[in-house]
Structure 1
């Protein structure tokens, strides 16, 4: 049931995640026009009554985001440790009360990491080097798909991103099988948030396939690779270039990292053998 507070965000049943705003077009004949913009809200996440993080997010698929965030940040080890999510929609923010298993909560308190800030925040608030460079179990390396799999991939992803088509300003995280069927797509203003939403959706809907491929529209940083490792993804494709450190970690942990440039051929960074 949609509450009155939720309707502040969902005020347009057909396009609940975008708003139209007027802006002055600066050219030889200045004029005011209306443009579509993506929504952005603050999300406060509390585990067992204690605040853990405040993130700026696109206000859709919030449950997927919280599950994915909890898994990819090693707060819970599996979805069974997340008992429930209660969302409270306010005018300027969403408050999420998350109930997790006592063992997971004890580990969270022991390894307290406070995140505060922005949708682009990856490692802000980390209190120890071990939190930035954790020990992770390698994934099972798999073979690359045929070269033809990558042909027209950018257009395929662009057609899949419904919110980006309306407003721009959002990143996409897409799960694709070897036949190029889109299994899931999640979008958010934050590249980390979009990936967490996708991880949550794959977990909730039991979509995981050993040879499934994740495609991210953003550049690839270290924490995105760490999320892929924790989620057991063997192939990670990005539409913008990876960093050297992300390639190093992907290679070390069995992940094949593929960069698909706009005009040049795909570049695959394969694991160390």
Structure 2
């Protein structure tokens, strides 16, 4: 194999890893041995993070730092959870442009009425790692009207415990890197149905929402499980698309709890082995 073949093989390998959501890199590991420290040179995996621009009918709306996987799901989920569109059919097309080195663009074509609505509340938002409220132009823009859900039965403690055990093997990028969030849809018995991962917790949820809609998964049964805290933005996104139960492995913020209560959502936090906290 000549030098060009080696370079091409290296580029292809790097591209394959980027599409998988992680890259291999050399690291120096410090290990304690008694009272002294030793250094070992190893290869490790790190999660991918790239700027992804969401562009509607040629107008750039947001630039998010995201893991470059399941980006079509991300485009649809973000558009629905941010109320840019209200139905999947209002997005006519979605094309991925650019490359993961210089940045990616999700070029979407949406219904004209939805575009006009977007223009009327346009925000120049540069969101670091899925920060959903970054770039708001006024405090009023954070006071969003949400639907009132038809409250359904809360998942039982035993079902949640089973869900916690079920999600682990589905976190492919997290298992490789230890630095990735996940959002998963569990059925009524706590079995894993769908999972999406991203370096940003909001992005992971948007990817999951997009996948649920694309695969026509009913939200009438089952619940959302996230490997992060339950922030206001996470609850908002879930309520917007009609998710009635959300379980988080970490705690919830006060605004998230208030929003869940007013919207009729079941919200459970600190879902750990043998323990969970019911907020509402």
Which residue pairs with 1:93 in the alignment?
103
Look at both structures and tell me which one has the larger radius of gyration over its CA atoms.
Answer: 2
- SS at 2:268's partner residue? strand
* Counterpart residue number, 1:170: 180
Moved over 4 A (4+): 7-10
Deviates more, 1:183-192 or 1:114-123: 114-123
Given that 2:164 and 2:273 are in contact with CA atoms closer than 8 Å, whether structure 1 keeps it comes out as no
Give the count of matched residue pairs: 265
Deviates more, 1:186-195 or 1:118-127: 118-127
User: Are residues 1:64 and 2:73 paired?
Assistant: yes
Contact kept in structure 2, 1:41 and 1:94, CA below 8 Å: yes
Report the Cα distance in structure 2 between the residues aligned to 1:9 and 1:88, rounded to whole angstroms: 20
> Is the CA contact 2:155–2:223 (under 8 Å) kept in the aligned structure 1?
no
Tell me if 1:122 matches 2:132.
Answer: yes
Gaps of at least 5 residues in structure 2 are 1-7, 32-36
User: Which structure shows the higher helix fraction?
Assistant: 2
State the distance in 2 between where 1:49 and 1:125 align. Answer: 20
Cα distance in 2 for residues equivalent to 1:183 and 1:152: 13
Deviations 1:80-112, CA, capped at 9 Å, x for gaps: 110101111323211121100000000000011
Which of these residues, 20, 31, 39, is aligned with residue 16 of structure 1?
A: 20
Distance 1:176 1:127, change over 3 A: same
Q: 1: distance between equivalents of 2:257 and 2:278? A: 10
- Mapped pair 1:41 → 2:41: no
Q: Which has the higher strand share?
A: 2
Which of 80, 84, 87 aligns to 2:89? It is 80
Which residue is equivalent to 1:50? Answer: 59
Is the 8 Å Cα contact of residues 19 and 38 (structure 1) preserved in structure 2? yes
Unaligned runs of 5+ in 1: none
TM-score by length of 1: 0.91
Q: Deviations over 1:156-178 (max 9, x none)?
A: 21122111111121100000111
Root mean square deviation, CA, Å: 1.9
Take 1:136 and 1:151, find their aligned partners in 2: how far apart are those partners?
A: 30
